[in-house]
Amino acid sequence: MHNCARYLIFFQYIGTKYSGVVRSPPHQQQKKGVQNHIEDAVRRLKPVNPVSLSVSSRTDSGVHALSNSAHLDLQRSNDKPPFTDDVLLEALNFHLLSEEIRVTRAQRVPADFHARYRAQSRTYVYRIALGTPHHSQLPLTDHSLCWGLHNTDIQFWELTFKSKSFLYKQVRRLTGALVAVGQGRLSVAQLRELLEARDTRAYPQGTVAPARGLFLTRVDYNQADLQFPEEGEERGLSPSVNPED
């Protein structure tokens, strides 16, 4: 498309109120995905092309992100020049003010860049609050942002997982299995068997950790893949221009 720009955006969200990061179907109106809200914000910029966000990393309902990423194409009407990175960032966040979603970075990338397939690694952190006999002893934000366990003197754990990609609920299954070993519900030998089986159906029922303690914290790319060929050229608007004009 003529004068159509592709952007990579990084964004964060508290996932408690969303159905997950990906777009929810039209018939599901009560709980939308993070993608729905970001695409709505892009539409407010009045592009002439159909709006579709390609998300790099799927997160389930209730899972949070300190940094997820996606790419989008944006073509302005009447051959107007593409938005600068800063203007796009400011405009999207303006239209996301009512949501627990914020875009932290936006940059123009080559037209063949793909946020999902060019990702080199994803990093997740699972937060476990320990030594809490009842969730009321945690601040409200901590209760909704971690898994509260009891009967231990250790106060807080963060488990970090990094890989190029993950299977569905893989981090939550691994975390739940580790906790089950610590609680004596699984032996180390049984955990080894689960890992060697490489079959999610082998995990005992009830060992999947809850979604609220899981955070996607990083999506990494090769800098060479992000290099826009016209980086040094004038290719956008000044920050004083109204992004909805």
Q: Which residue numbers are catalytic?
A: 60
CA distances from 144 to 58, 64, 128, 164, 231 (A): 20, 10, 11, 28, 42
3-class DSSP state for residue 32? Answer: coil
Listed residue (139, 109, 158, 103) closest to 7, CA to CA: 109
Beta strand residue intervals within 177-213, DSSP E: none
Whole-number Å distance between alpha carbons of 142 and 13: 15
What SS3 string covers 155-180?
Answer: CEEEEEEEECCCCCCHHHHHHHHHHH
Strands 121-129 and 147-148: parallel
> CA of 239: how far to CAs of 12, 90, 167, in Å?
23, 9, 41
d(CA 24, CA 18): 9
Q: How many CA atoms lie within 13 A of 66 on its CB side?
A: 13
> Residue 21 in 3-state DSSP?
coil
β-sheet bridge partners, residue 11: 68, 103
